[in-house]
Amino acid sequence: MHLLECQEMIVTMPYFQYSDDIRLYYEEHGDPKGKHVVTFLNGVMASAASWAWLWPVFERAQFRCVALDFKGQLRSSKPAGPYTFAQHSEETKALLEHLGVTKTHLIGTSYGGEVAMKMAILYPDLVESISLIDSVSELDPVLRGFVLGWKTLCDTGDGETFFWGMAPSIYGPEFLEKHHDMLSARAKAIKDDPMGYLEGQKILYDAFADDVYMTDQLHLIRCPALILCGENDILKPPKFSKILETNIPDAEYITLPDSGHVAIFERPRELESAIFGFIMKHII
């Protein structure tokens, strides 16, 4: 599931009270005493449950799996902005400390990959590896234009209008056609702006546009990095992933064929093989 999950689940899931005005939703899966930990970091429009396709392979390998919604995302608090990637990093680190996690492998898509890079820069002793899916360390006028357009769609107050307005910029055309009914259901699920979803999105878009630049800090990332990008990603095209590969000292790069920006849904099997293999290579 992606933009919205069943609201009945919300009351039974755990929250971490980071501060008086910030409560972070999180999930744990796998072995709670597992020797190795993976932490899943969401794309800006997604939520913790968006990773349900990937954590089973880690569960079977007796990993401890943690996923969370950043502040501003679906189930977490949405305090007034501005937000920064350093703040997201500190809040994620605090959650992990609360859970007793001292080292973790980070897996992030888009916005979550950008948080993963910032965490690797700021907290190198915490981060064992990073897997970055369709992420960037800077933006160009086209990417900035997409983000500004999404903010305008949020201002309609209609989640369904927002969804269909932004969908062609993140999903590949084949995926849009093949999964139209599923995407229609998701669009209808957010039509009435549940839990202030759209307002949270606007704050997150501002954080991305104003604070994502970190290319000049990538050389500080000392852990192994796996960089993956959809071949047909028009939002954050491969040129941005090539910047990551060039500037992160210990980086590997994989292009995902016939995939748009949301590779976690368009190419889940390929990502499962690549990311699980990459992490296992670095713990054996």
Q: Categorize the per-residue pLDDT at 258 as very low, low, confident or very high, splitting at 50, 70 and 90.
A: very high
Share of the chain above pLDDT 90, in %: 93
Domain assignment present for residue 182? The answer is: no
Q: Mean pLDDT over residues 53-67, rounded?
A: 95
Helix (H, G, I), strand (E, B) or coil at 68: strand
What would the DSSP string read from start to end of 47-60? -GGGGTTTHHHHHH
Q: Is 126 a member of any domain?
A: yes
User: 209: helix, coil or strand?
Assistant: helix
Residue 232 lies in a domain: yes
| pLDDT tens digits along 166-203 | 999 999 888 999 999 999 999 999 999 999 999 999 99
Which pLDDT belongs to residue 226? 98
Asked if 58 and 126 touch (Cβ cutoff 8 Å), the reply is no
pLDDT in tens, 118-164: 999 999 999 999 999 999 999 999 999 999 999 999 999 999 999 99
Domain-embedded: residue 197: no
The strand pairing partners of 131, in sequence order, are 107, 226
pTM for this predicted structure:
0.94
Tally of domains within the chain:
1
Asked if residue 154 belongs to a domain, the reply is no
Range of the domain at 99: 7-143+212-281
**What Rg, from alpha-carbon coordinates, does the chain have?**
17
Task: Identify whether the C-beta of residue 260 lies closer than 8 Å to the C-beta of residue 232.
Answer: yes
pLDDT band at 2 (very low <50, low <70, confident <90, very high): very low
Q: How far apart are CA 68 and CA 28, in angstroms?
A: 9
Task: Centre a 10 Å sphere on the Cβ of residue 284 and count the other Cβ atoms it contains.
Answer: 5
> What is the residue-averaged pLDDT of the chain?
94
| 170 occurs within a structural domain | no
How is residue 67 annotated by DSSP?
A: E
pLDDT tens-digit series, residues 212-226: 999 999 999 999 999
CATH of the domain at 19: 3.40.50.1820
